[in-house]
């Protein structure tokens, strides 16, 4: 059964090859329209836009269109009666530095200000063993920008495997809880919790969830998104 540490060792070489050299900044794209809600789950209330801003774990690496985490979250929001659109701005291979560079551009290109941002970056920092101080600074800068724009945030966190050493793991693992408190953001501490290391829920690389794994993650994340949206005033 693959473990996070084993998957990390395999993917460290792959990660360097998977990054693009000076890629163009992508436009965020909305998820395909959700199927019409059933009569027992009719959507109502204000229209909500959620921006899912992250890396391959949001982009849907290795999955078919419509199987990404943002797609699965949207389906659950609408099944719960929330009239939500989820914009998938996940880019495979992005580090926190890459996300920091494209966040303002992505926000400025949206048709409307999002009601909530799901922010999920950091896994590629761990793969590249980027110093925790750099990861923290990049995450803090993105949260500060979102604070400035008055956009609530749900952080989906990352953790370092123990084979990178206790000091590195401690430095990485504290970032998301610390910043969630500092910026009053909602927090799902580890995005791969409950699926990592379970072969039936992961792609062959051992680090990206398969479609079933994504559904498991969405089961836990979507209620946090729904709770955060319900706290917002009607618009």
| H-run or E-run covering 51 | strand 44-54
**Gap between the Cα atoms of 130 and 95, Å rounded:** 9
- Residues 6+ away with beta carbon under 8 Å from 232: 48, 115, 116, 152
125-182: pLDDT as tens digits? 999 999 999 999 999 999 999 999 999 999 999 999 999 999 999 999 999 999 999 9
pLDDT for position 44: 80
162: in domain = yes
Supply the pTM of this predicted model. Answer: 0.86
Set 178, 205, 219, 227: catalytic member: 205
**Gap between the Cα atoms of 133 and 215, Å rounded:** 32
Q: Can 68 be counted among the known catalytic residues?
A: no
**Picking from 19-28, 89-98, 150-159, 189-198, which range would have the lowest pLDDT averaged per residue?**
19-28
208: in domain = yes
Structure tokens at 173: 């693992």
Set 56, 92, 94, 115: catalytic member: 56
Surface-to-core class of residue 192, CB atoms within 10 Å of its CB (0-12 exposed, 13-18 middle, 19+ buried) = buried
**Gap between the Cα atoms of 132 and 116, Å rounded:** 26
Full domain range(s) for residue 52: 4-18+46-230
**Nearest alpha-carbon partner for 223 in 231, 213, 212:** 231
Q: Can 31 be counted among the known catalytic residues?
A: no
Please check whether residue 183 is in contact with residue 215, taking contact to mean a CB–CB distance below 8 angstroms: no
31: in domain = no
25: in domain = no
Set 71, 94, 98, 208: catalytic member: 208
Structure tokens at 72: 């699965």
Q: What is the DSSP letter of 204?
A: T
**Gap between the Cα atoms of 166 and 135, Å rounded:** 17
Q: Can 208 be counted among the known catalytic residues?
A: yes
**Gap between the Cα atoms of 98 and 215, Å rounded:** 27
- Residues 6+ away with beta carbon under 8 Å from 30: 85, 86, 87, 88
41: in domain = no
pLDDT for position 158: 98
143: in domain = yes
Q: CATH no. for residue 189?
A: 3.40.50.1110
pLDDT for position 32: 44
pLDDT for position 42: 82
152: in domain = yes
23-48: pLDDT as tens digits? 333 444 444 444 433 334 688 889 99
**Gap between the Cα atoms of 152 and 150, Å rounded:** 7
Question: What integer best gives the mean pLDDT of the chain?
Answer: 87
Q: Total domain count for the chain?
A: 1
27: in domain = no
């Amino acid at each position: 059964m693959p473990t996070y540490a084993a998957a990390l060792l395999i993917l460290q070489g792959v990660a360097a090859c998977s990054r693009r050299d000076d890629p163009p900044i992508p436009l965020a794209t909305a998820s395909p329209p959700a199927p019409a809600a059933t009569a027992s789950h009719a959507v109502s209330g204000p229209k909500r836009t959620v921006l899912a801003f992250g890396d391959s774990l949001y982009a849907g690496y290795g999955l078919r269109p419509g199987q990404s985490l943002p797609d699965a979250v949207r389906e659950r929001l609408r099944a719960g009666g929330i009239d939500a659109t989820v914009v998938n701005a996940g880019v495979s291979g992005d580090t926190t530095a890459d996300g920091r560079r494209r966040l303002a551009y992505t926000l400025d290109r949206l048709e409307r200000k999002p009601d909530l941002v799901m922010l999920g970056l950091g896994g590629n920092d761990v793969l590249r063993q980027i110093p925790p101080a750099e990861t923290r600074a990049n995450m803090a800068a993105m949260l500060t920008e979102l604070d400035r724009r008055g956009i609530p945030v749900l952080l989906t966190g990352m953790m370092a495997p123990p084979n990178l050493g206790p000091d590195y793991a401690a430095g990485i693992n504290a970032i998301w809880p610390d910043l969630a408190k500092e910026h009053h953001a909602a927090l799902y501490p580890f995005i791969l919790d409950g699926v990592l290391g379970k072969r039936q829920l992961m792609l062959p690389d051992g680090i990206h969830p398969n479609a079933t794994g994504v559904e498991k993650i969405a089961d836990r994340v979507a209620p946090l998104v729904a709770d955060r949206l319900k706290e917002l005033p009607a618009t």
